[in-house]
Amino acid sequence: MFFVETKYSFEGQHPDEKVILFSRRHWFVILLPMIAFAIMALIPLILYIFTESLFARMGLTSIVLFVFTIYYVIWWLSLSYKITMYLMDYWIITDKRVIDSRQHGFFSRSVATAQLNRIQDVTTSINGPMATWLDFGNIEVQTAGTENNFFFYDIPNPAQMRGLIMEVIERRKGKQNKGSYDTY
């Protein structure tokens, strides 16, 4: 399966499994690197404006433009790498389990799952003024036994998400499967 079938279908999804919630990190996490990339994009332009006449006198305009083009190609690849890594980190809550998928780099990816009936508690933490203002933070999903706890980092609306996870768990535990879950 190369392109996914529906909006939030994912690799390894069970046939009868329904995605209830899908989340990435908050956009603020990617905003600062994007500003840095925007500044980096302006550097060659500014340099060229100030040194154009000098390079023209030396007859090196074409090579300078070539070097700047290489710079922009590297810039483009670095920018795309950053965005790709942002898009590859995600958390999914289905009607059966919680999935934590994280991309650490190309060819380095970790996927962890926890069944809903193994989840004991969910706690949220919001640290810092920006996180408080923009309402994003971390969620810790505590699992039973020797299983590792799950951490959702920089999630938007953590309190709302915590409530939703708890609701899904309660529904699962109470076997209230008559109604259908809403997909967020």
Partner 1 sequence: MNLPLNFLIVNMNYIAILMWFFGAVYIGYVFITLYHLTRFGVGQSPKVFSVVFFVGSIFFLILLLVAYISIDFNIISDSINEIFKKFNMDLLSK
Among the residue ranges 28-36, 71-79, 145-153, 160-168, the one whose residues contact partner 1 (CB under 8 A):
71-79
Q: Which of 131, 181, 117 is nearest to 159 (CA)?
A: 131
DSSP state of 106: T
How many other CB atoms are there within 10 angstroms of residue 91's CB atom?
A: 22
CB of 175 to partner 1, least distance (A): 28
Backbone dihedral angles phi then psi of residue 127, each to the nearest 5 degrees: -120, 130
Interface pattern 90-109 for partner 1 (x via CB under 8 A): x-x--------x-x--x--x
CB-wise, 176 or 182, nearer to partner 1?
A: 182
Window 118-177: residues binding partner 1 (CB under 8 A): none
Handedness of CA 157, 158, 163, 169 (dihedral sign): positive
**Contacting residue, 81, 128, 163, 170, with partner 1 by CB under 8 A:** 81
The H-or-E segment that residue 146 falls in is: none
CB-wise, 47 or 60, nearer to partner 1?
A: 60
- HSE (side-chain half, CA atoms, 13 Å) at 80: 7
Give the footprint of partner 1 on this chain (CB under 8 A): 2-4, 7-11, 22, 24, 58-60, 62-63, 65-66, 69-70, 72-73, 76-77, 80-81, 83-84, 87-88, 90, 92, 101, 103, 106, 109
